[in-house]
Every structure is written in C-alpha cells, then in structure tokens.
Amino acid sequence: MSYQTGTATSVGNMLVQLFDFASANGWAIDEDISSDGQATKRGTIHHAAMNTYYHIDFSQGQTGSGTLKISISTGYTALALPDDQPGVFYSGHQVTHVAGAISAYWFFESDTYLHIVLKNSAGNYRHFHIGMLEKLGNWTGGDYLTGHYVNAPNNSIPTHNAHSLPFDGADVWSSNIMRGALIFGTKNGGAAFDLAPEVATKWYVSCPSRSAEDDFDGVQVGEGLCNGSRGGIASPISTLGPSDLTGDAPLVPISFFAGNTGVVPGRYMLAGSFPDVRLINIRELSAEQEYTVASDTWVVFPVGRKGTEVGEEQTKTWGYAYKKVIA
C-alpha cells in the first residue's frame, strides 16, 4: 500500500505521474500516458488480481473547463478507442472542471484500488476511484469505478440531481446515461446474480429510481444503491458532527447494493464496501487535514468545496476520508 502527493502542470501531467506511481506499485500499464502532449491523450491500466481494464481519456481534459472520461471494460484491444474496447460499460464516467495546473493531488493505492483526489482550484476538489470492493460472499468481480460530474449552472446546489458525485446514492439528470458508482459482478462461472434483470447482466450502477438501461451489447444493466453523501442508508449518520463526549467525527463505511427494482418487490443484495475510504462530516475539520483514529491516519477532503455560499460551488460539510498508508 502506498501514498503520494504532489503537483502537476496539467491534468495530463498528473496522469503521467499516476501511471508511473501505479506501475511502481504492481499495476500493469497496457497503454501508457507518458506525456500530457501525447497524440492519443489516453491510457489503459489494470491489475492482475482484478477482472477489468480502466481506460482514462484526457483529450478534453486540457481544453475549455476540462473533463476526464474514465471507462471500464472486461477486455482489452491495443490502441482501440475506449468505447470500442471489448466488454466496455457503455457510459464513461466523467470528472469535470480539471483544466489548468493542478496545485495539489493525492494518490492512495493498494493492490485492489487507486483512489485519486485533486485540487482543481483553491478550496475545490475532485475525486475518482478505481478498484475492487471488499466483497461480502463468494462471487466474481467487485471491480468498481466512480467519477465526479458537477453541473456548473447548479454548482451551488449540492443536492441538485444534475450532479453525479462519487459514491452517489442519488439520481442523475440525464435520461440515458448513468454515471453513479458502478460495479462489475457475476456468480462464479459467469452466470448473473439471481436477482439480476437478465441472465447475462454483469454491471450494476447506482441510480435509484431510474429504470435500468441496456449496455452496448443489448444486455440490461442492473440497478444499484450506494450510501453516498447525498443519499442512501448512512446519510443521516454522515451528517452528524463531532461527538460532544470525544470530539471525534464518525467515519462511515460506504457500501454498495446490487439490485433489481424491475420486480415487485424490488430486491437489493449487499455486495460489499469500498476499501479505505469513508464518509465524514468535516464541520470541525479542515480540507487536507490528517485525522487520527487509533493507529490509523486518515486524510480528509470536502466532497467538492466546504461551505454553503451561494454563487459558487459548495458541498456543505460533506467529506471523504482516505486511509493514509505509507509502505
């Protein structure tokens, strides 16, 4: 398990450093990002202990407001576009407003995850995550992907359904793209879960109250539920401030439920939780602060921007805490 923080001249330059960091810690680089000026402006990475490939496209990341697109697939074809990769999930997950110099970034890594935080402007943050759930039960998969999509006209309304925040338990605005937290999962041997909407379903995405869409292969995507900052079963806990007795703020695990609401009654299965990242209320904590619980050190960040100001991006006192482990 490893940790790195630094600065970058652009989001492409940050990805160069991310790929170097991942390679040094046992991840396989299928298509490298060696320069923020390279012609393809994309790269692919995977880990041998996992089932999927991650494709990061920064062709729009250094122009305009800047948007990364991260895709996940079950196979890999060299030099193919992300949307043309075998077994790709049909909706790439976006990370918005990343143009310009990155004044700080943080990489949190283990054999089963890469969690990335970047400061895209003073006091403002973006997060994205790839990895494998801490699974409950014996099944194949658990590979996950999150993005961080903020709809600029509504950025001062963190509950607006035009946004899709990491580990989101809320609906997304688009009628045909599901950008919520996503997992890959099947029974051992490849059959779909018993509760799946179709016998070949392998993807589950957190978009409650949304009818599932078909993937590129015409197979229906399963629905999911994730207790993110805006919704889900843990949100009342995550709004709690520090304890009057101890001064500590609770660290709330983030779980994913795979489900099917196309049947009556709708059914969800607890698939597992995301490793070494927690929800936390940062009312009494500062962005980038290290927070010690027993022998563990966590680094805390706003989901987007701490505060309740009108006219600028803000996400109240919602926060994420990442376990800091230095090998």
pLDDT at 174: 59
List, for residues 108-127, the tens digit of each pLDDT value. 998 899 999 999 999 999 99
E strand segments, 151-266:
182-186, 203-206, 222-226, 252-260
Best CA proximity match to 33, nearest among 59, 65, 7, 2: 59
pLDDT at 50: 97
Question: Total domain count for the chain?
Answer: 1
pLDDT at 211: 57
List, for residues 133-184, the tens digit of each pLDDT value. 999 999 999 999 999 999 999 999 888 888 888 987 666 565 556 788 999 9
Q: How many CA atoms lie within 13 A of 250 on its CB side?
A: 13
Which residue range forms the structural domain that includes residue 246? 2-323
- Residues in the chain, pLDDT under 70: 1, 169-177, 208-212, 229-239, 327
pLDDT at 169: 65
Q: How far apart are CA 197 and CA 48, in angstroms?
A: 29
